[in-house]
Amino acid sequence: MSDLKTMNITFLGTGTSQGIPIIGSDHPVCLSENPKDKRLRVSVKISWGAYTYIIDCGPDFRQQMLTNKVTKIDGVLFTHEHADHTMGLDDIRPFFFRQGDIPVYGHSRVLESLKIRFSYIFASENKYPGAPSVIENEVTNAPFRLGDMEVIPIDVMHNRLQVFGYRFHDFAYLTDVKTIADKELEKLKGVKVLVVNALQMKPHHSHFNLEEALHFIAKVQPERAYLTHISHWLGFHDEVEQQLPSNVLLAYDNLTITL
């Protein structure tokens, strides 16, 4: 791996597929005035040296880029093809206009899904003027390089759907996880900071609930862990965080950590 000294991770969004607040909901968490209870769709920005990469660009991508004053990206990594992780792809246009074709990374299945949803972006002939263009990079379950960094994909299951998490040096980001094989768990050995989904208190068919997430963290044994992909059913940010182990924290939108 790279011997880089500093890596900055910004949580662009920490919410589940509908975000918080949910449109039209009168649930107390959706009505909360605490900014930490307001969650856009899940995404992170990872920067080191001259490099900046985004993991997932959902429907809130434009707002997230403006809020965090992002002026350059070196590429977008996709975990999987669900709408809350992909539907902001058109908003790479300002980056494309300044930088040219934007690299995108994902499982071949995910790239094929994006070609259907965003056919005008991937068109090779009669391309619509003003449409952005991308450079396709297929991710397999093998390490690959981004700049001077080796990235290790972590293969997990979101119910019956394969999803990739990613390890960058001492940092690992896993979202939409329900199960993970032992051989994939081994790839997380020695990680210092782990991010993992914790949807709600009750069991869920395709996501870790809080109990499962804490059990997973105990297996990995990172120095610190952050919970993300959170729904209003988990509860109020401040109340839930008080119940967590000292090295486990609830992530919130626009939180930046350095390691």
Domain ranges of the chain: 8-258
Q: Is the pLDDT of residue 243 over 60?
A: yes
Fold assignment, 8-258: Metallo-beta-lactamase; Chain A (3.60.15)
Rounded to 10 degrees, the C-alpha dihedral 11/17/21/24 comes to 160
Q: How confident is the model at residue 1 (pLDDT cuts 50, 70, 90)?
A: very low
Q: Report, as an integer, the average pLDDT of 9-14.
A: 98
Cα angle at 45 between 229 and 13, to 5 degrees? 30
- What integer pLDDT is reported at residue 4 of this predicted model? 55
Q: How confident is the model at residue 126 (pLDDT cuts 50, 70, 90)?
A: confident
- What integer pLDDT is reported at residue 5 of this predicted model? 65
Give the global pTM: 0.96
